[in-house]
Structure formats: structure tokens, C-alpha cells
Structure 1
Amino acid sequence: MLYALTEHLAAEFPDHHLLATASWSFQIEGFASEGHCQFDPLEIPVEYEYRWEMEHRLSRANIWTGWFSVQWEEQSYFLLCVNFHKDYGRQRHWFLLGETEAATRRFFEAVSQFATEVTGEVLVFDGGCWAKDKDLFDSIQNSTWDDLILEGDLKAEIRQDLEGFFKAGETYRKYKIPWKRGILFLGPPGNGKTHTIKAIVGSIGFPCLYVKSLKAEHQTDHQLIGEVFDRTRATAPCVLVLEDLDALIDDENRSFFLNELDGFAANEGILTIGTTNHPERLDPAILERPSRFDRKYTFRLPGELERSAYLHRFSEKLEPDLRLDDEDLKIVAEATDEYSFAYLKELYLSSLMSWISAPGERPIREIMLSQCQTLRSQMTTEPEPESQPSPQRRSTLTPAMMRAYMDRWR
């Protein structure tokens, strides 16, 4: 069918040069939305595929089939989009018609170059598609090393290790050492893994690619993993973030993922950061083989010193009536043993809401100590019976489970 369509177009437009592509890099919609060209549907109706995005509470229309006119640098083009269903899924093809071969190739190269450049946004892979996310990039700029509180020298160690990696590219090449790193962040949820990733990306100045999912309706996991690593290699040097790795990788796609990670193609200049709240769910081939993730950092529940520092950092940004003094910080820090940073944030926010309902009637410290009991009851939910959870499940972590977990992975 594809060959027949190509022949038909060539016959129908003998005075035009035809360029056909199924490359992920031909992202004409993004190129046009940034004002680099004019991209308009012709009178022939365009078919769209609609997806509902829960996160943004809106529907997104993806072009399925249609004809378009394009104006770029005083050149005119016709563009046809067709999606083909195949045994393994769906593939989108573009057929570009230009006045000359040189003009057609120049436009294709300009669009593809745009797709590989990442400036002022994060590339997010979800549902089989890449998208540039400016909001996520902005949130990263607001997550600095200064605001990050971690146990002991962990912050300094991570920062020195990973910032040094990008500065040492020439040294790696000189001594013929593969210039790539794989890092795993382990530990219970809410203890700084995501903040650390944002601080890394915000400070190194290289592009970030974030994998949100490896599932799509019309594509296989192997296709999607291949697209992720193809795009990452084209963008390098860069950071590839695989958050909640245990939910992304399963028995069906693990072998292909490992081959892409370290097997058949060079990953020059790529820092891969994986995170997991549940390292026991990761296959030993991922967790224990150094050449894949050569360094593991464990993010433990914060001790009293870290809790006090976190509460102080949060408190100092508030109005005077809502701040904790040194004595208050010590009391609340002592009362929040086994709290994660996420629970500390929730404690302060819920206490603020309670204070606002009756401003000044009770000091913020008193409200926070009362809220501690409520939150602690949420932390002590009875654990589920032991079983092998599916990769997509999230179990509740109790303090006892957290202690056992940390003893195991210490």
C-alpha cells in the first residue's frame, strides 16, 4: 500500500519532488506552532485522533490523515499525512511535495533539526509521542540545590559526581572509556529523589528527556523503547530520566530495554537516571549489574536534623505569624519521627489550612502537633498481605515497612 501511494503521488505531481518519511524527527506541528512556517489544512477534510489528557484536563487532537499547504522561506509545499496500521501497531507517514529536490530536502532538514534541539523545555515521552514541556522546564528552574536537604554528604556527593561527568567528556574519549553513566536513586517515596533530579537538570545546562510511560495503544513496547533511545542519542549530551523504573520495565520489555541501555548501540554523552520506590521489584539484571547503573544512591527517611532543616526552610518563606521559632522547630522535628519530606510538607500545608480557618486562635506549632497525630494514622495503615505486586501497583508504606526496607538496602 505504501509503495502504491508513493507511485500514485509521483504520477499525480510530476512537476514536484516527492520526499516520504516516517521519521520521528519530522515534527511539523511543533515547527509550525513555534512560528517557523505556515501550516494550513487544505479544503479536503482532515481526520484527527483525539486523546484525553487527564493531567491537563483537555483533549489533544493528533493528525490522522489529511492534506496541508506549507509556506516556508518563500517556498510552497504540499504535505500529506497518512497513518498505516501494521501487524505490530501504527506508523505515521508524511509525503512532502516541493518544487525542487533541494528545496524539499532543506525543509525536511530544518524541521528535523528543530525537533532535535531542546532549549527552554523538557522533552516528555508519553503515549508513544514526544512533546516539549515548558511548564516542567520552568518547575525545574525553581528546584535548586540550595533548597534540597539530604542526609549527610549525600547532596554534595551526587552533585560532584554528576556535574563532573559532563565536564569530563574529553577525558573519557582520551582514555577510550565510554562516556556514559547510569545512576539509580532508591528509597521510599517522598524523600528527595525527584527534587534531586530537577536540581541536577537545572544546574548542568544540558537537555533533559523524561519518560513518562512506555505504553501506547498502537505501538509495541519495543518500538517505544527504540524511539526513546533513538531520540536520546540524537540529543546527546543529555540526561535521560526514567522515573519509577519498576513500573516502566516488565518481563515483556526488559530484554530489549537492556540491549538499548548497554548492548548494541553507543550511548555517548548520556546520563541515565532511574528511580524506584521499590528496588525489590527490579530484576537483578537491572539492579545488580554495574555496567548498566554503575552507581546507586539511597534516599533514606530524614533524621531529626534533616527534618528540622526542612521545616525551617519551609517556615522562613511564610508570614511571621506562620513561622516556627527555634524551639518550635525542635519540638515539631522530634514529633515527626519517621516522616518523609513529603509528609512534612503535607503537615505544614494542612496546618496552614487549619490556621487560616481561624487565624490567630491557636499558634501554628500547636496546630502542627495536633495534625501530626492525624497524619501518623495515615502512615500506619495495615500492610497488605505479602504477594508479588504487578509493576503498576503502589502499596502503602508503613513506618515498620520503611525501617525493614532501609535495613535491607542500607
Structure 2
Amino acid sequence: MAPQRDSDEPYIVITCEEAFAQEGRTASGDPLADPWAERASSTWVDPRAFGTRKLKELYPNHSVVAFANADVLSFPAAYVQPIHAPDMVSTVYFMPLARQMVAWDKYDFILYVVKFLYGTFDNTEMYLLHEGPEEPSRALVMASGVWQNDLHEEIYVFDSGYWDKNHKLWVEVQKADWNDVILKDEFKVNLKKDVFGFFDSENMYKKLAIPWKRGIIMYGPPGNGKTISMKAIMKGCDAKGFYPLYVKSFRSWKGEEGAMVDVFEKARQLAPCVLILEDLDSLINDNNRSFFLNQLDGIESNDGLLVIGTTNHLDHIDPALSNRPSRFDRKYMFDDPDDEERKLYVQYWQGKLKNNKDISFPDSLASEIVDSTARFSFAYLKEVFVSTLVLMAGFEEGDDKRDFADVIKGQIKALRKQLSVEPAGHTLNTTQRGVRGAVSPPDRSCQLDSRLANQGRIWEAGETFDRPRGSMPGGLPMPGGMSRGNPDRRIDLRAIAVAAANSGRSYMF
């Protein structure tokens, strides 16, 4: 830096421009790097256009196709190789090199990936160069974009204003089986007919000149099969080629109305599909109800759209939403199981345990269980069996093993006390209990984790089980304060089994 004095002026002009210009020079060896830094860092308003023009100058024999959204680097049908390796790897995370050789089909390409600040946002622009016409480049961008847009053992999940592909939820949904949904046959048949029959009835709707759309509400107290039924529906729709779209929340940086626009636009784009709105009474409130109704039956076509909502509290949903047939045509109540359904559920467990030589499960015991579990939900019926099996599995050699019947009756009694659920016609006499002596609290192994009382949603926020690409954070919180990846903590098998039982899952990891 050197001061410049003009003899005719009474002041000194001090400038660092020349020094900074020298320091800012790069010696990357890439012919685009220096011109890009010069133009994209100054007052030019469109660095993207400059990149295209400059690459045409640098590669006069190549066609140049600029694009931003297709992920060619992840396209499995393309072979990618760096043009030059860096002298030293100095980062602890992967940063793609700016220039790559790409081979696809019978063609070779050069791919530039340029990341830059434009306005207040980071931007990524890609340039695909091919020594020849543009058509092969455009075909590669199209092929990689189509592959990127497809689902690969994934389910679309909407949360925080964005759609993301989720593999973990897809894995959870694959475990669902209609054979594990213990409901009356007529109820299951009607539910499946309403869901899958909708997708087979497009021609009938058109002949009747009515919109090809349908809405279903599944309601009732928690723990009675809504979640497992929904998972079975999602699995069946996915297998038939009808995308299940799961909405976790309408919270968004765009606001709830902006989120609803994004949700329904995606559903219309992928129709025919099924849109899952779990805990409908929490998603729809006084502020967004009117806008939601406009999306549901507004001007834009919702042909091929099946909307399924679930709620534990139908009375909390505005009648304009729940009682108008053109919005939600059918409602299915998942109530606490009656005698027949409890009998079906107990027989289901009889079948699962019939090959276990250590367990005697006669029909007489099954009848006792059915009679003693009146007003139990399916979730608590499952807890009866899970807790019994966990306790029996915990017996060590040399212990006096208790009979299966005694253990399961003890669990029923403990759960009834804990849940304050008494058989019809029976009232707990606190005075009598005081005379007999204080009733000791149920054994720790019989207690439900209070944090899990309201669990059982299809998707719960928690820690991440990452997949290499397209994965979403999620999963039930680990019970008992455990943290994943910490081998020093003792695993609470009981808490894990209870969590699995109450969430309708067969495992927690």
C-alpha cells in the first residue's frame, strides 16, 4: 500500500485495491475459478448466466446445460470421477469437488458444481458439458431428476414446511399386517373396501359425474387400533402404487396456510394417492380451519385424493369438517373392545404362544382373561401379555417359576388398579381398603411409563436413525432416560417392551 499525493489537492488518497487484488488471485489451475471470482464477486447481477457464457468460451467444442435441482452426483446409473484430486484433504466432512467427469449411457460429460452466495442465500448451480449437442446432457438431467423424484423404499413426510423422503417410516409401515389388526371381520372388510375400493372406482365416479375424491375419519379413544390400521393402509396403498403422504405438522416458515398449500399441491401432483392427517384435531384449529376447508373442496381439482384423518376426540373437530359428507364421507369408530373383540385378541395371543412349551394357555384361561379385562383398550390388553412374558423371561435358573396363569392374572389386577379401571358394577371401597391395610403400589415391572400414555402415533419426533440419503429424524424417545450409542447404560428391557406394546411396534431399535 502506498499513499498517492496529488500536488494540486490538499488531501491524500489511500487505496488498498491493488494489494487486495493481488492477494485475491487464486492459483487453482481451474480455468473457470478466477473469472468466476472476478465477476460473481463484483457488481454483476447474474453469476449463473456468466458461468454459462464463460464455460462456452473455455470449452468451444462442448454444449453447456445449466441446471440446479437434479442430483446427477447421486444418480446410480451415472459413473462419476474427479477430474483432478486435491493436494490435501483438510476438512472432516465431504465437499464435492468443483469439477467431475461423468459417464452415462454411452456419453461422457464434464460436470461443474458451483456454490456461491447470491443475495442473502447460498446457491448451487451445476453445468453439464458434453462434446457434442445438448440432447444427451438434457437426457441425463431428466433421468437423474426422475430418479431423484421417485420413492425408493421411502414415504413422503411433511414437517417444518418441507416434504422429505423417509426410509425409517417406510420400514415401520412394512411391519404392519392386517392379521395383527384385531377387529371384527365386518369392520375390517368395510374399512379396506372404502380405502382400496376408492382407487378402483375412478370410472364409476366419472360416470356419475362426481369428483373422484373421498375423506375418512378414524376416531375413538387411544390404544384401540387406529395407528396399526393406518400403517396397514399405508403399506397396502404403497404396494399398489398409490403414494401415502404423511403430514406431521402444518408448522412452517410460510405459516400454516402456506404449509397447507404445499401439502395439497404435492398431493395433487402425485394423485391418485392417500393423504394422512394424524391427530386431525391438533392439525386444524380456529385460525387455519377456513383455509383448510378451501383446500379440501375449493376450486382446484382434488381428483384421486383420498384424505384419511385420525383423532382421539371427534367432539373437538368442527362439525363443518366432520359432519359434511363431501369432506369426510365415512367415519369409523375405534372404541374399546367388546367381549367378542377381546376374545378375538386373546385367541390371537393363544395362537402366538401355542408352540411355547413353557406356557400353558387353555381355553378356560382365555375365557377368564376376556371376562376380567372389561373396558381395557387394545393397548392395555397388549400390555397384559407383553408384561407377563417379560416377567417370565426374567426368571433365572433356580427361581421358583410362577405359572403363566398366575402371572397374567397378577398383571391384569395391577393394571386395573393403576389405570383406575374397575369392572362394571364394581366400586372401589376406600374405607374397606383402609381397614385391610394400605394396598402396596404395583410392582415397578407392572407400571406403564407415564410418558408413553399418549404415544402410538405413526411418527414421533426424536433422535435420528440416519440413512445415507433421504432420511428424516424420528422415532420414539428412548425409555428410562437411556441414550442411543451409550453402551455403559443398562438397558431397561421392561421399558422397551412397554414402549413397543403401546406404540404398536414389535421393536424399538
* Shorter-chain TM-score tier: 0.7 to 0.9
Within a 5 Å distance, the mapping from 1:4-403 to structure 2 comes to 7-14=46-53, 15=56, 17=64, 19=66, 26=69, 28=71, 35-37=76-78, 71=102, 73=104, 74-80=108-114, 94-99=124-129, 102=135, 105-118=138-151, 120-151=153-184, 153-204=186-237, 205=240, 206-216=242-252, 218-318=253-353, 319-322=356-359, 324-358=361-395, 361-380=401-420
Alpha-carbon displacement from aligned partner over 1:55-91 (angstroms, at most 9, x marks no partner): xxxxxx9x9x9968583623333345679899xxxx8
- CA offset at residue 129 of structure 1? 3.1
Q: Hey, which bits of structure 1, 4+ residues long, moved more than 6 A?
A: 38-43, 65-68, 82-86
Kept after mapping to 1: 8 A contact 2:99/2:110:
no
Mean Cα deviation higher: 140-149 or 155-164 = 140-149
Q: Which runs of 5+ in 2 are unaligned?
A: 1-39, 57-62, 87-92, 422-451, 455-509
Q: Residues of 2 paired with 1:85 and 1:281: CA distance?
A: 45
How high is the TM-score relative to the length of structure 1? 0.74
- CA offset at residue 5 of structure 1? 7.7
Cα distance, 1:166–1:103 mapped onto 2, change above 3 Å? same
Cα distance, 1:97–1:326 mapped onto 2, change above 3 Å? same
Letter in 2 for 1:371: Q
Alpha-carbon displacement from aligned partner over 1:194-252 (angstroms, at most 9, x marks no partner): 22222223334122111122224x44223322222222222222211111112222233
Q: Residues of 2 paired with 1:241 and 1:310: CA distance?
A: 27
Kept after mapping to 1: 8 A contact 2:65/2:138:
no
SS in 1 for 2:287: coil
Kept after mapping to 1: 8 A contact 2:70/2:141:
no
Kept after mapping to 2: 8 A contact 1:119/1:207:
no
Match of 1:402 in 2: none
Q: Which runs of 5+ in 1 are unaligned?
A: 44-60, 382-393, 397-410
Cα distance, 1:123–1:12 mapped onto 2, change above 3 Å? closer
- CA offset at residue 33 of structure 1? 5.0
How high is the TM-score relative to the length of structure 2? 0.61
Cα distance, 1:139–1:8 mapped onto 2, change above 3 Å? closer
Kept after mapping to 2: 8 A contact 1:123/1:132:
yes
Cα distance, 1:9–1:282 mapped onto 2, change above 3 Å? same
The CA RMSD over aligned residues, in Å, is: 3.8
Alpha-carbon displacement from aligned partner over 1:138-176 (angstroms, at most 9, x marks no partner): 433332222222246211111222221111112222332
Cα distance, 1:107–1:128 mapped onto 2, change above 3 Å? farther
SS in 2 for 1:358: coil
More strand by share: 1
Higher relative contact order (CA 8 A, sep 6+): 1
Letter in 1 for 2:49: A
Structure number, greater radius of gyration: 2
- CA offset at residue 17 of structure 1? 4.7
SS in 2 for 1:320: coil
Cα distance, 1:375–1:68 mapped onto 2, change above 3 Å? farther
Cα distance, 1:76–1:182 mapped onto 2, change above 3 Å? farther
- CA offset at residue 327 of structure 1? 1.0
SS in 1 for 2:249: coil
| Percent of aligned pairs with the same amino acid | 34
Mean Cα deviation higher: 198-207 or 339-348 = 198-207
